[in-house]
Amino acid sequence: MVSRRPVPPLVSVVIPCRNEEPYIARCLDSVLATDYPRERLEILVADGGSSDGTRPLLVRYVALHPTIVLLDNPRGTTPAGLNVAIRAASGDIVIPMDPHVLYPPDYISRLVAGLQESSADKVGGVLVTVPADESPTAQAIAVGLSHRFGVGNTVSLGCYRREIFDRIGMFDEELIRNQYDEFDFRLITRGGRVFLLPHVHCRYLERRSFRQLARRSYEDGYFKALVARKVGRVMPLRQVVPAALVGCLSSSAALAPWIPAARYLFALAAGGYALLVVLFAARAARQHGLRCAAALTLVFPILHFSYGSGSLRGIRDHLVARGAPPQGTLQLSR
């Protein structure tokens, strides 16, 4: 008697996007190149009202690939797009994906296998930050964010059992940033299990400009405070350091004209920070070249001061005043 191989579970890939013309095609091409059985895969793309060439591009992909379904996300934000796609999903397994990420062919199959072979409700791989192009600025941004002095490589968005969204709810749509942090915390505190698969890697194409980096970092810092309020937990020390640096420098600078000790504190903090920036940039020059190292002396301060400023405003708005986030002003998808 010939034994039949088990039918692979139906997988729903969900991709929220908005104005991702430079990235979305490469992302979709990498997903379509998967070694997972195409007949057991659906790709749900929730477009948040793109005003660039993203929408026409998606329409062309839908016409060429029946696996892809295009959905509308009227709110335009990442958590809203995730929820739109998850509600439309048919799969037993849901894999959120980011339009900035390039996925290896075995990404889906290895995550699904990890989920099936474990008792986890979510499994995730490692997200490696890489430059969006060959320019020194893009290279420095990628190096700075993957550096331990910056952010470091992070856990990928991962792979969830569909049933957990029925059990613990959907993504929090107040959190335009950091929605995965809050969701996974909620999952764990309600008895769920999350596993890391360190051998599974995907590549994140970072922002190309200092302006994009500053805005993204500011928003990340701002919404970290809201996550802390929602989960009732103080942010980890690493996430508080940029806010402490910005607070120390701004307060000591303001008091310096009247208090001599404040001048010394400002000089010590500013000098120490500048020394670290130059030191880490100089070390990076050995591997990435002088032009990248020069740009890195701007990347680190932009990253830290934007994140720190956002954190301070977030602490004021969400932990002190306990107000609602400014939904109308922060509409980037990722």
**Please, what is the end-to-end C-alpha distance for the chain in angstroms?**
52
Q: Do the Cβ atoms of 8 and 36 come closer than 8 Å?
A: yes
pLDDT for the residue 5: 73
Tens of pLDDT, residues 224-245: 888 888 877 766 677 788 999 9
DSSP 229: H
Residue 277 belongs to some domain of the structure? yes
Which residue's entry shows tokens 């729903």?
Answer: 12
Does 331 score more than 70 pLDDT? no
Q: Do the Cβ atoms of 108 and 33 come closer than 8 Å?
A: no
Q: Which is more confidently placed, 333 or 19?
A: 19
pLDDT for the residue 323: 60
Distance set, CA 119 to CA 114, 115, 116, 188, 192 (Å)? 9, 7, 8, 13, 9
Q: pLDDT band for 3, please (50, 70, 90 cuts).
A: low
Residue 93 belongs to some domain of the structure? no
Mean pLDDT over 191-201 rounds to 91
Does 252 score more than 90 pLDDT? yes
Tens of pLDDT, residues 23-57: 999 999 999 999 999 999 999 999 999 999 999 99
Does 109 score more than 50 pLDDT? yes
Q: Which is more confidently placed, 301 or 233?
A: 301
Does 89 score more than 80 pLDDT? yes
pLDDT for the residue 330: 47
Mean pLDDT over 53-70 rounds to 96
pLDDT for the residue 328: 44
pLDDT for the residue 287: 86
Residue 128 belongs to some domain of the structure? no
Residue 256 belongs to some domain of the structure? yes
Does 2 score more than 60 pLDDT? no
The full DSSP string for 19-37 is S-TTTHHHHHHHHHT-SS-
Q: Please give the residue range of the domain that contains residue 285.
A: 231-320
Q: pLDDT band for 296, please (50, 70, 90 cuts).
A: very high
pLDDT for the residue 286: 85
Residue 8 belongs to some domain of the structure? no
Helix 260-288 to helix 290-314 angle, to the nearest 10 degrees?
140
Tens of pLDDT, residues 127-167: 888 888 888 899 999 998 888 888 776 777 889 999 999 99
Report the number of distinct structural domains present in the chain: 1
Residue 328 belongs to some domain of the structure? no
Residue 289 belongs to some domain of the structure? yes
Mean pLDDT over 235-256 rounds to 87
Burial class for 39, CB neighbours closer than 10 Å (0-12, 13-18, 19+): exposed
Mean pLDDT over 282-288 rounds to 88
